[in-house]
Amino acid sequence: MLRKIRITLAILSILMVTALFLDFTGSIHKWLGWIADIQFLPALMALNVGIVVFLLLLTLVFGRVYCSVICPLGIFQDIVSWLSGRRKKKKYRFGYSPAHTRLRLGILILFVIAAIAGIGSFVALLAPYSAYGRIVQNLFSPVYIWFNNILAYFAERAGSYSFYHRDVWIRSIPVFIVALVTFIVIAILAWRGGRTYCNSVCPVGTLLGAISRFSWLRPVINTDKCVNCGLCAKGCKASAINPKEHKIDYTRCVACMDCLEECHTGAISYTSKRTANEASAKGADSLKNGGRRLFMAGAAGAIGSSVIYGARKKVDGGLAIIEDKKLPERHTPLVPAGALSLNHLRQHCTGCQLCVSVCENEVLRPSSDLRSLMQPVMEFDRGYCRPECTACGDVCPAGAIKPVSQIDKSSIQVGHAVWVANNCIVTTDDVECGNCARHCLVGAITMVPSDPSDKDSKKIPAIDENRCIGCGACENLCPARPFSAIYVEGHERHKTI
């Protein structure tokens, strides 16, 4: 029964997390955003003390249930391992193996040092929730969007606009490669060894494993009832059960409850160790039922507390081919309003790509720069940052992008526009344009005579840097190709105007 409860909760959890990353409208986050907020590392990076303490207490009481019920990467490993067992038709594929303690501690220490030093790319690479988010965003999302576009195609012809077309494109080739390699490595490890990644590499698993050694409830072997068949160890995907010594490595046990189902003599019960050693055979069965009730109550409490907390056109008029824009070389990267500064984003962002997935204007994409690899940056070749859109700050679970109101966003200066005379069509084609001034959302661009002594000379843009907020509308809508005649240069620290 405990195993069925755990599997049900795990399936619901991974479906909700996956839905968050597949939803490109941002509407699902209003209902399911709490599942991202209770992920351990994002909560820790956001300094969300309440959630962190809750997860630590959950581990102290029930063991590493976080890894088997809440963490999407852990649940993903269980799914792959289950498929492997079905494919190989081998129910008992595992066995006890000693813990790789030095490897686990070494990775955890490096992870903590990288987090303190602000080396976001290393933190993002190992963060389990973020790794799963990148897999969904880069590998699963394109398939989902293709399916959406098929539905949109037929819906339009039926006179319905319930679906709308979205472009399918790779936002960052390096990050796509990272996501693909992560998927392959974790899938191979899970296919062959179950929870190998979770119990040998994952820093969150190592930290929670150290705490779970002192958990109140845990699977315990009753030596009086054990017949030394070894089935529990052969079915343990965490390789944590030593049948010869009747011991369980609680730093690696993820409380999946598989061993309780495998033991045909009822020698393993989910209870406190002291009570189990004192219990008789009849008492052990009673305690097993009591443990089931405690587990159900704890799981319900965890979910309850969490709920409370919370076709792009390529032609102009059908005649002239529009050449794709090339991105400018910015001296300072652009990060969204709410990020406060480049340093703040790099220190708190886990590179999960949730903000990228909900950016409807396709402004955000993962950075390819080694200093901020996989963290979001803004580019305006496909759209610009609309002042009324605050989705990225609303969904960020790590506090890297703080929530801002629509009013406040209009006064946050993330960068300023720069005019490049040699790219402007006034210079290249000797014609007036004024597109940048017409579409400037804050009136920071005005058209002035190119020759101050001749008021009838062709007009060129003049930029008031004190009013510009760096939304990128001018850069995006500039007709110059392949480089815009006006682009936005980022600010190290955001300003309020």
pTM of the model: 0.84
For residue 282, what pLDDT is reported?
A: 43
Bridge partners of 463, per DSSP, are 445
Q: What is the mean pLDDT of the chain?
A: 87
Contact 460, 448 (CB under 8 A): yes
- Mean pLDDT, to the nearest integer, of 4-25? 93
Crossing angle of helices 101-117 and 203-212, rounded to 10° = 120
Lowest mean pLDDT among 85-94, 187-196, 249-258: 85-94
| Alpha carbons 204 and 206: distance in angstroms, whole number | 5
pLDDT tens column, 433-452: 999 999 999 999 999 999 98
Task: State the pLDDT confidence band at 262, using cuts at 50, 70 and 90.
Answer: confident
- 428-433: long-range contacts, CB 8 A cutoff, minimum separation 24: 428/480, 430/458, 431/458, 432/458, 432/459, 433/479
Residue among 320, 349, 350, 314 nearest 335 (CA): 349
- List the one residue out of 136, 204, 212, 211 whose CA is nearest residue 175: 136
**Token couple for 12:** 């619901």
Contact at 8 Å (CB) between 236 and 81? no
Q: State residue 65's pLDDT score.
A: 95
Lowest-confidence pick of 26-40, 77-91, 342-356, 375-389: 77-91
pLDDT at position 158: 87
Mean pLDDT of the region 245-263: 91
Percent of the chain beyond pLDDT 90?
67
pLDDT tens, 139-176? 999 999 999 999 999 988 888 887 888 888 889 999 99
pLDDT digits (tens, 9 = 90+) for 116-134: 888 888 889 999 999 999 9
CB 66 within 8 A of CB 298: no
Bridge partners for 412 per DSSP: 496
Q: Of 374, 386, 381, which is closest to residue 337 (Cα–Cα)?
A: 386
Structure tokens belonging to residue 255: 């409380």
Whether the per-residue pLDDT at 286 is higher than 70: the answer is: no
Q: Are 333 and 369 spatial neighbours (Cβ–Cβ below 8 Å)?
A: yes
Give CA–CA dist 325/476, Å, rounded.
Answer: 9
- The two three-digit tokens of residue 343, written as one number: 């340093």
